[in-house]
Amino acid sequence: MAAAGPGRDFPAGPPLRHSARVRVLHCADVHLDTAFPGLGPEWPLRRRQAIRSALGRIARLAAELRVDALTIGGDLYEDGRAGADTAAFLGDVLGGVPCPVLIAPGNHDPYLPTSLYARHPWPGNVHIFRSREFEAVAVGDMRVCGVAHLQPKGTPNPLAGYRVPDGPPAVALMHGSEVGALQFEGAAKVDHAPFQEAEVAAAGFAFALCGHYHMPRATPWLCYPGNPEPLTFGETGERGAMLVDFTTTPPTVTRHRVATVSVADAEVDISACSHREAVIEAIRAAVPARADRCVRVRVVGDLQPTVAPAPQAVLEAVRSAERCCVIEWDLRLADDLDALAAAPDIRGEFVRILLARPDQGSPLVREALQAGLRALADEDPGLL
């Protein structure tokens, strides 16, 4: 159904059973007020600000594209953290969208009596779905049927046994897990409101505008726009809002990037570094000083005996207002452990003892080896 958008290929599916003269801009998983631990004192606020900027861009995009509705497939904000400022921001931004804004609360922003949805005033053009059952809102000559999460977890499949009432073409707006794609989301992804793609058609929906999966995806029957602003490392590639154009048969899904910050992964081999400053320089070289990029640096290689890595000191030296990064250390000791272990001296015995442990490949043993060997070389362990 979904055809290729500019610069992006999505599989084209079968034509809609009913055509509609509607175009909607769909986004989801904005996750306003997300916490960004481990990024130091400055960057978390910038990242949260970037998420707000992304939502603002989506709002402007809706105006520029003159869509018939802006749909938000849940997880608009983090319920546990969002406050009045976020509510005011949302009211301001969404109130400025010159078309209806339809929100289907998700597991991170369930419709609770204490949630922003319930306790704050919303602009007149914003419609928040409040029921676990599908509720229809007319958009042009089409119906957008939304459903809400009413609790942070345990929301059942809203499509199970549901059948769209007769009427104009209907599109589902929901926050749920299409089980066929759960494997791409990583082991930590919880399958809230699990459903199968086939259930969309079975329920009589022409299409499903979904949220929950952060990996952008579009199939003949549904689309996940992904989180517009990357929230964790690994969320690379194009993501943002999807323009779903129902005026053509089959409809067209076009992706629009709105992110202001990108994330990246870098690997730095410090085997050739003989001192800490060299390590710092190597990492700096891998992390460009850019305000719009956060880099996860994986430091690998052999840790030379002369190097006291001091991860915290290295992180503080590398990270700055212009350089956002987290550092993961995955080093081997450059020492010839086999040779050391062969020696009948205390060091050899020490190495033998540690290598004899069942967890000898663990970071604990590696760091214990590092600490002991450096101490025997009259050096600090260099672990902090």
The DSSP code for 180 is G
DSSP string, 57-87: HHHHHHHHHT-SEEEE-S--B-TTT--HHHH
Closest CB 370 distance from other proteins, rounded Å: 8
CB of residue 205 vs other proteins: minimum separation in angstroms?
A: 34
Own/partner contacts of 9-14, CB < 8 Å, gap of 24 or more, are 10/218, 10/223, 10/253, 11/218, 11/219, 11/220, 12/220, 12/250, 13/219, 13/220, 13/221, 13/250, 14/220, 14/250
Reduce the DSSP state of residue 332 to 3 states and report it. strand
User: Could you tell me the smallest distance in angstroms from the CB atom of residue 102 to other proteins?
Assistant: 22
Please name which of 335, 298, 382, 320 lies closest in space to residue 39, comparing C-alpha atoms. Answer: 320
Q: Closest separation between CB of residue 353 and other proteins, Å?
A: 5
Give the three-state DSSP class for 132. Answer: coil
To other proteins, the closest distance from the beta carbon of 331 in angstroms equals 13
Tell me the C-alpha distance between 228 and 61, whole Å: 13
Q: Could you tell me which of 293, 241, 202 has the C-alpha nearest to residue 56? A: 241
Q: Which is nearer to other proteins, 81 or 290 (CB)?
A: 81
The enclosing H or E element of 243 equals strand 240-245
* Site residues for other proteins per CB under 8 A: 33-39, 44-45, 48, 78, 80-81, 83-85, 114, 119-121, 271-274, 302, 304, 311-312, 334-336, 339-340, 342-350, 352-354, 363-365, 367-372, 375-378, 380-381, 383-384
> Between 98 and 363, whose beta carbon lies closer to other proteins?
363
Minimum distance from residue 32 beta carbon to other proteins (Å)? 9
Question: CB of 87: closest distance to other proteins in angstroms?
Answer: 9
Separation in Å, CA 229 to CA 40, 50, 53, 101, 215 = 19, 7, 9, 20, 12
Place of tokens 């419609």: 127
Comparing CB distances to other proteins, the nearer of 178 and 335 is 335
Least separation in angstroms between CB 210 and other proteins = 26
- Our CB check for other proteins shows the closer of 14 and 363 to be 363
By C-beta, is 25 or 373 nearer to other proteins?
Answer: 373
Residue 33 or 109: which CB sits closer to other proteins? 33
Give the alpha-carbon dihedral of 82, 84, 87, 89, to 10 degrees: -100
Closest distance of CB 241 from other proteins, Å: 23
CA 167 from centroid of its chain's CA atoms: 36
- For other proteins, which is the closer residue by CB, 262 or 304? 304
> Which CB sits closer to other proteins, 27 or 82?
82
Q: Is 295 left (phi over 0), alpha (psi -120 to 50) or beta?
A: beta
Instruction: Work out the angle between the directed axes of helices 84-95 and 43-65 (0-180°, nearest 10).
Output: 20
Nearer to other proteins, 179 or 334 (CB): 334
Distance between CA atoms of residues 315 and 54, nearest Å: 28
